[in-house]
C-alpha cells in the first residue's frame, strides 16, 4: 500500500535548495551527455557518480536521476540535427526527426521531442510511485528459492536481449557472475580467485568495475570510431523552438500506447530504451491514420519514440529499487549510486528507509520537470555542445573515471581495476557481447549463489524446492521461455532463408 505519510516526510528531504540545485545540475549535465553521440546515459551517470559521494542519499541519487532523465531526452538533439542518435534510446527518433530537420522544421522536431519526453517521463514517474510500493510489499514474501529463481530469470532475459547473439549475451552475463564470486566466500569465508591480493578479499569493487565497463570501455570505442568519422557539422538551422503540447495531446492514443510500452519494457530487465522506442514507433504506425508518412518527417514518429524512451526510465527503476534487479544498463549504474550511499536495493528498502525511497520517487518527478524546462530554455546552447572536439572531451572523461574509482576507497588498486574492466568493456563491445549483461551478472550473481546455497541448507538439500514453490517455478519458467524464444526465432529465420 502507498503510505502518504512517507511523502510528507520526504518533502522535507527533497525541497531544500541544495537538493533541488543538485537535481537541476544533474539534469543539465545529463542533457549534455545525451546530446553528444557515443556518450550514453549509463556512461553519464557513471562519470558523475564521484560528485555524489559526499552528498546525502536523496540529494546524490536525485542528481543521478536528473542525469538519467536528461540524457535519455537529450539524445533527441543529435538525432534531429545530425541523424546520429545521442543515446541508443533515440535511434527511432532519427527516422522522422532528421527528415523534419532537413525540411527546415528542426525547431518543431526538437519541441515535439521535448514535450513528448516530458509526458513520457511524467507518466512513468506516476507509475513508479504507484507500482513500486506494492511490488516491494509482494517481494517481502520472497524466500531464498524465489530470489534464486528471480536472479536466474534476470540473467537469462538480460543475456537474450542484450548481446548480438544469445551465446555471447550469456557469456557476458556469466563473466559478471564469475566476477561476483571473487573474494571471500560469503558462507564459508574461503578465499576465491584472490591470488593473495588483500584488496580482493572483499571482492571486486563494484564501482570501479562499473565505471570501467561503461565509461572507459565506451571512451576507448569512441576514440577508435572518431578516427573514421569526420568532424561534426550541423547543416540544419534550429530556428525557433516551441513546446507543441497541443499537437502531442491531439495524438493521445499514440502517446498513451507509447507510455505503456515504454514503462512496461523498462520494467523488463535488460530490454532498454532502444527496444521501447522501436516497439512504440511500430505501434504508433499501426494506430496512425497516415502510416505512409512515417519515416518522411512525421510528427507522430517523433512523439512515439520520445514518449516511450522517457517512459522507460521510470519503468526501469521499479525492479531496481524494489527487487534489486536493474531494468537496464543505466539503472544498474543507478543501483551502484544507491549502494555507495549505504542503501541496499530491494524490498527492505521500503520498510527500513521509507522516507529516503519516497524522497527518491519525488526527486524523479522533479527531474522530469527540470528536463523539460532546461532543455526548452537552453536548446540553442545544448546544440552548440555538439561541436565540442572529441580530443578535449575524451581526456576529461577519463580523468573523471579515475577520480570516481579512486574516490570510492582512496585505494589505487581500484584504479587499476578500472583499467582492467575498461579494456574488458572495450573488447566486449567490439565483438558484440555487450557490457550491460556483465554488470547485471555482477549484481545477480551474488544473489543467485547466496540464495541457492541458503535454499539448499534450509530445505535440507532438497533441490526440487526451486521448482515446486509457485513463484519460484514461475520465474524459472519465464527464464526458460526467454532462452527458447531467441532460439526459436533463429531456427525460424534459418528455415525462412533457404525458402527465400
What minimum distance in Å lies between the beta carbon of 433 and another protein? Answer: 8
Please answer whether residues 368 and 120 qualify as being in contact, where contact means their C-beta atoms are separated by less than 8 angstroms. Answer: no
How many of the other CB atoms lie within 10 Å of CB of 168? 18
The answer to whether residues 121 and 373 touch, using CB atoms and an 8 Å cutoff, is: no
Specify the residue, 306 or 449, whose C-beta has the smaller distance to another protein. Answer: 449
- Beta-carbon neighbour count of residue 456 at 10 Å? 17
Q: Which of 147, 148, 374, 426 binds another protein (CB under 8 A)?
A: 426
Q: Is 403 in the site for another protein (CB under 8 A)?
A: yes
Q: Which of 1, 17, 227, 500 binds another protein (CB under 8 A)?
A: 227
Q: What whole-number distance in Å separates Cα of residue 328 and Cα of residue 461?
A: 34
**Part of the chain binding another protein (CB under 8 A), chosen from 45-53, 123-131, 295-303, 335-343:** 45-53
Should residue 220 be labelled a site residue for another protein when binding is judged by CB under 8 A? yes
Q: Is 61 in the site for another protein (CB under 8 A)?
A: no
Cα angle for residues 362, 368, 373 (degrees, 5° grid): 125
Cell 559521494: give the residue: 53
Q: Confirm or reject binding of residue 246 to another protein (CB under 8 A).
A: no
> Pairing relation of β-strands 191-192 and 183-184?
antiparallel
Look at residue 183 and give its three-state secondary structure: strand
Q: What is the DSSP string of 48-85?
A: HHHHHTTS-HHHHHHHHHHHHHHHHHHHHHHHHHTSS-
- Position 406 contacts another protein (CB under 8 A): yes
Q: Where are the alpha helices (DSSP H) in 387-469?
A: 390-409, 412-430, 436-458, 465-468
CA distance 99 to 79: 10
Nearer CB in complex with another protein: 53/376: 53
Question: Cα–Cα distance between 160 and 156 in angstroms, integer?
Answer: 6
* Crossing angle of the two packed helices 436-458 and 329-340, in degrees rounded to 10: 60
Q: Does 473 bind another protein (CB under 8 A)?
A: no
> Does 243 participate in binding another protein (rule CB under 8 A)?
no
Q: Rule CB under 8 A: say whether 50 interacts with another protein.
A: yes
Contact 119, 307 (CB under 8 A): yes
* Interior angle at CA 146, CA 140 and CA 151, nearest 5: 105
Chosen residue from 15, 249, 252, 427 binding another protein by CB under 8 A: 427
Out of 233, 246, 289, 391, the only residue in the binding site for another protein (CB under 8 A) is 391
Q: Which is nearer to another protein, 264 or 409 (CB)?
A: 409
Among 157, 349, 402, 444, binds another protein (CB under 8 A): 402
Reading the block at residue 93, the C-alpha cell is 527518433
Instruction: Name the minimum Å distance from CB 407 to another protein.
Output: 5
Applying CB under 8 A, which part among 131-139, 264-272, 363-371, 386-394 lies near another protein? 386-394
Q: How far apart are the first and last CA of the chain?
A: 55
Decide: is 487 part of the binding site for another protein (CB under 8 A): no
Does 484 sit near another protein (CB under 8 A)?
Answer: no
Alpha-carbon gap, residue 176 to 329, rounded angstroms: 13
Binders in 147-206 for another protein, by CB under 8 A: 165, 167-168, 170-171, 174-175, 177-178, 181, 185, 187-188, 190-193
User: Which member of 217, 336, 407, 425 binds another protein (CB under 8 A)?
Assistant: 407
Looking at 339, 419, 471, 474, which residue binds another protein (CB under 8 A)?
419
**Part of the chain binding another protein (CB under 8 A), chosen from 88-96, 255-263, 351-359, 445-453:** 445-453
Choice between 253 and 430, CB closer to another protein: 430
Phi, psi of 158 (to 5 degrees): -65, -45
Contacts with another protein by CB under 8 A lie at 50-51, 53-55, 165, 167-168, 170-171, 174-175, 177-178, 181, 185, 187-188, 190-193, 216, 220, 223-224, 226-228, 390-392, 394-396, 398-400, 402-403, 406-407, 410, 412, 415-416, 419, 422-423, 426-427, 430-432, 445, 449, 452-453, 456-457, 459-461
Amino acid at each position: 500500500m502507498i503510505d502518504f505519510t512517507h511523502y510528507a516526510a520526504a518533502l522535507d528531504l527533497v525541497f531544500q535548495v541544495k537538493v533541488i540545485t543538485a537535481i537541476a545540475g544533474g539534469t543539465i549535465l545529463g542533457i549534455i551527455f545525451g546530446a553528444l553521440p557515443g556518450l550514453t546515459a549509463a556512461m553519464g551517470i557513471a562519470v558523475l557518480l564521484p560528485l555524489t559521494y559526499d552528498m546525502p542519499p536523496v540529494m546524490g541519487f536525485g542528481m543521478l536521476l536528473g542525469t538519467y532523465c536528461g540524457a535519455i531526452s537529450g539524445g533527441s538533439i543529435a538525432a534531429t540535427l545530425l541523424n546520429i542518435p545521442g543515446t541508443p534510446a533515440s535511434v527511432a527518433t532519427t527516422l522522422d526527426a532528421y527528415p523534419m530537420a532537413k525540411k527546415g522544421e528542426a525547431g518543431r522536431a526538437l519541441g515535439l521531442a521535448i514535450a513528448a519526453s516530458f509526458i513520457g517521463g511524467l507518466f512513468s514517474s506516476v507509475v513508479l510511485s504507484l507500482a513500486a510500493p506494492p511490488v516491494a510489499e509482494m517481494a517481502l514474501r520472497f524466500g531464498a528459492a524465489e530470489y534464486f529463481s528471480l536472479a536466474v530469470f534476470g540473467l537469462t532475459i538480460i543475456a537474450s536481449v542484450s548481446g548480438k547473439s544469445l551465446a555471447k549475451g550469456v557469456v557476458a552475463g556469466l563473466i559478471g557472475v564469475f566476477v561476483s564470486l571473487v573474494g571471500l566466500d560469503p558462507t564459508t569465508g574461503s578465499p576465491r580467485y584472490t591470488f593473495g591480493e588483500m584488496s580482493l578479499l572483499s571482492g571486486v569493487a563494484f564501482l570501479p568495475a562499473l565505471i570501467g565497463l561503461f565509461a572507459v570501455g565506451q571512451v576507448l570505442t569512441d576514440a577508435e570510431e572518431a578516427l573514421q568519422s569526420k568532424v561534426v557539422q550541423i547543416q540544419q538551422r534550429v530556428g525557433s523552438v516551441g513546446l507543441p503540447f497541443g499537437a502531442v495531446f491531439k495524438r493521445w492514443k499514440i502517446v498513451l500506447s507509447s507510455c505503456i510500452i515504454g514503462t512496461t519494457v523498462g520494467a523488463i530487465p535488460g530490454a532498454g530504451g532502444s527496444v521501447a522506442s522501436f516497439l512504440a514507433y511500430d505501434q504508433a504506425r499501426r494506430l496512425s491514420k497516415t502510416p505512409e508518412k512515417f519515416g518522411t518527417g512525421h510528427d507522430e514518429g517523433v512523439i512515439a519514440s520520445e514518449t516511450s524512451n522517457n517512459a522507460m526510465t521510470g519503468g526501469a527503476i521499479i525492479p531496481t529499487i524494489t527487487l534489486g534487479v536493474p531494468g537496464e544498463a543505466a539503472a544498474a549504474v543507478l543501483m551502484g549510486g544507491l549502494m555507495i550511499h549505504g542503501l541496499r536495493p530491494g524490498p527492505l528498502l521500503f520498510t527500513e528507509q521509507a522516507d529516503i525511497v519516497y524522497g527518491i520517487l519525488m526527486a524523479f518527478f522533479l527531474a522530469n520537470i527540470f528536463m523539460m524546462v532546461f532543455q526548452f530554455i537552453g536548446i540553442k546552447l545544448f546544440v552548440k555542445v555538439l561541436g565540442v572536439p572529441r580530443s578535449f572531451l575524451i581526456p576529461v572523461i577519463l580523468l573523471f573515471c579515475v577520480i570516481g574509482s579512486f574516490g570510492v576507497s582512496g585505494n589505487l588498486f581500484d584504479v587499476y581495476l578500472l583499467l582492467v574492466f575498461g579494456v574488458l568493456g572495450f573488447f566486449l563491445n567490439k565483438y558484440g557481447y555487450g557490457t550491460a549483461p556483465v554488470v547485471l551478472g555482477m549484481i545477480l550473481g551474488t544473489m543467485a549463489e547466496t540464495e541457492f546455497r541458503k535454499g539448499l541448507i534450509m530445505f535440507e538439500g532438497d533441490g526440487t524446492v526451486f521448482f515446486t514453490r509457485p513463484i519460484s517455478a514461475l520465474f524459472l519458467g519465464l527464464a526458460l521461455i526467454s532462452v527458447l524464444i531467441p532460439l526459436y526465432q533463429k531456427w525460424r529465420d534459418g528455415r525462412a532463408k533457404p525458402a527465400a
